A = this chain, B = another copy of it.
Amino acid sequence: MLYLVGLGLSDETDITVKGLEVVKKASRVYLEAYTSILLVDQSVLESYYGRSISIADREMVESNSDEILRNAQNEDVAFLVVGDPFGATTHTDLVIRARELSIPVRTVPNASILSGIGACGLQLYNFGQTVSMVFFTESWKPASFYDKIRENRAIGLHTLVLVDIKVKEPSLENLARGRMIYEPPRYMTVGQCAAQMLEIEDDKREGVYSRDSLAIGAARVGGSTERFVAGTLEELCSQDDALGPPLHSLVLLGRRTHELELQYVREFAVDKEKWDRIWNADYGKQQ
């Protein structure tokens, strides 16, 4: 059996009791460690589980998944995923491959940032499609998020923006020279995300959002040091110190907001007076 086990969002104790039982009895344990990270190290997990863990990097999961699935017809393999196993596309691939090999699959769900973000006080019902933000380079500034945010905002919905992490990735220069030397890990901050969003708006000038659009920066959602900061996109460009260490994510508000959301969220506002002024002028309206 292949078990896809969600680890939740924060530390070693966010695994479910069911998930922990699976990890303790599986023949092999893999940790998918490139689409997201926990706030604790592998060694903490290993000592907590009483098991050694193999790190499954992108290369292994995407090109060498048969090693992960080896003999899973006859023994139990646990594939651990930060958050919920179905947060990222890659794991669907793995399940399809397991099916082809007649390996039964079971999922142990857990908290995902897609639902955990509800802790910021915005109603999950009012979110549209989720978008991703990657690190821009001088020559590569993918902006497909812009059109998706437009679609969400046109119908008044909030947008969750998931930000890039780079773990064990070769630099472009090293890749070009065929050297597998990896860069140190990088985690995008809310400030970088907000700045890249404004860069694209400045470039396209289609008014999908502006410097004064309301947003919430989130850090370490679901952990004991969880932190939210609410403000305009411009304000959020300089709130990384207040938010602290990774992981970060950002929510751009839609206009179809509810009074209850305002009450909850304004507690987190950098500048409550400004927040109220913009909210009253532009938000809380059906469309």
Q: Mark A98-116, 1 if CB is under 8 A from B, else 0.
A: 0100000011011110111
CB of A192 within 8 Å of the partner chain: no
CB of A195 within 8 Å of the partner chain: no
CB of A123 within 8 Å of the partner chain: yes
CB of A63 within 8 Å of the partner chain: no
- Beta-carbon contact of A89 and B16 below 8 Å: no
Q: Mark A13-29, 1 if CB is under 8 A from B, else 0.
A: 11111101100000000
CB of A42 within 8 Å of the partner chain: no
Which residues from B are CB-within-8-Å of A115? 83-84, 86-87, 109, 111-112, 114-115
CB of A73 within 8 Å of the partner chain: no
CB of A137 within 8 Å of the partner chain: no
CB of A281 within 8 Å of the partner chain: no
Which residues from B are CB-within-8-Å of A8? 16, 109-110
Q: Mark A74-100, 1 if CB is under 8 A from B, else 0.
A: 000000000111110100110110010
A residues in contact (CB < 8 Å) with B? 6, 8-9, 11-18, 20-21, 83-87, 89, 92-93, 95-96, 99, 106-107, 109-112, 114-116, 118-119, 121, 123-132, 151, 155, 157, 221-222, 224, 226, 260-261, 263-264, 267
17 contacts between A and B (CB under 8 A): A9-B109, A11-B18, A13-B16, A13-B17, A14-B18, A84-B115, A86-B115, A86-B116, A89-B123, A92-B123, A95-B264, A107-B222, A109-B115, A124-B130, A126-B129, A129-B157, A151-B155
In the complex, besides A14-B18, A125-B130, A128-B157, 14 extra interface pairs with C-beta distance below 8 angstroms are A13-B18, A13-B21, A15-B16, A16-B110, A16-B111, A84-B116, A87-B118, A92-B260, A92-B264, A95-B264, A111-B112, A111-B115, A127-B129, A155-B155
